[in-house]
Amino acid sequence: MELNLKNPLAFFDLETTGINIAQDRIVELAILKVMPNGVLEKMHHLINPTIPIPEESAMIHGIRDEDVKDKPTFKTLAKSVAKFLEGADLAGFNHVRFDIPLLVEEFLRAGVDFEVGNRKLVDAQKIFFMMEKRTLTAAYQFYCNKELEGAHGAMADTEATYEVLKAQLDKYNGQSVEDIGGNVIAKIENDMASLHQLVGSNMVDLGGRFVFNDKGIEVFNFGKHKGKPVTEVLEKERGYYDWMMQGDFPLDTKRKLTQIKLKGFKMG
């Protein structure tokens, strides 16, 4: 089944120096952009992360310091990557909690304000786990009946995810997703807005430190203030804002915190 698109849909995958969003860097970026007319456009870069690549990470993706020492940094590529992604929704395999936050973090370090709030986010892993509960290699075998050669290579993983999503829609289009009580919580349809809902529409920041409650109010999603409105906490505990801004939180989280604080001032 071909994808029903209103906007371009950019499948992407990152290989990185590690899994710390605030500290680690991208070493490989692959993007497969599917246009509404079905045309495919690709972008692929090996990237100098400007920090050493730990051996434990290199053992996973096979990229070592000597492979990227003469490659461009993300900062030099940032504007061209942002241009390539302009107007596109984002798709990947388990990318909402890691790949997207890390990509945004790299953009912010490079001085490029890359927003995802106006984009649909589609996660093929979310559908897979809801319906079958496995990994990308298993998903590729299950849905496409193919062996995933070159797993943990960014472009191989990206192209496999594109094929998996199309096969998922062939298999599940029109089916409902139920919780353990038998209540319908979502419906899988060949529509990016519907698939975006599977990812979860209550996110405020990409790190998941803030979420919208059932009244549409931003609340903390961690720590001693979990569930409390952010503006209320910042009003009562003035030092909490400074603590977070000085802490080891992703730049996107700090940016959203500042936006919420400024919005509170305007409302007051």
Q: What is the pLDDT of residues 145-167, one digit of tens each?
A: 898 887 778 999 999 999 999 99
Residue 200 has pLDDT above 70, yes or no: no
- pLDDT tier for residue 268 given thresholds of 50, 70 and 90: low
- pLDDT tier for residue 128 given thresholds of 50, 70 and 90: confident
Q: Is 37 exposed, middle or buried (0-12, 13-18, 19+ CB in 10 A)?
A: exposed
Rounded Cα distance between 80 and 23, Å, is 23
pLDDT at 266: 59
One of 3.30.420.10, 3.90.550.10, 1.20.120.450, 3.90.870.10 is the CATH number of 9-199, namely: 3.30.420.10
- pLDDT tier for residue 127 given thresholds of 50, 70 and 90: confident
Residue 230 has pLDDT above 90, yes or no: yes
Rounded Cα distance between 150 and 67, Å, is 17
pLDDT at 265: 66
pLDDT digits (tens, 9 = 90+) for 86-99: 999 999 998 888 89
Rounded Cα distance between 123 and 263, Å, is 30
Least confident of 29-38, 80-89, 128-137: 128-137
Amino acid in position 186: A
pLDDT at 94: 85
The domain limits of the chain are: 9-199, 210-267
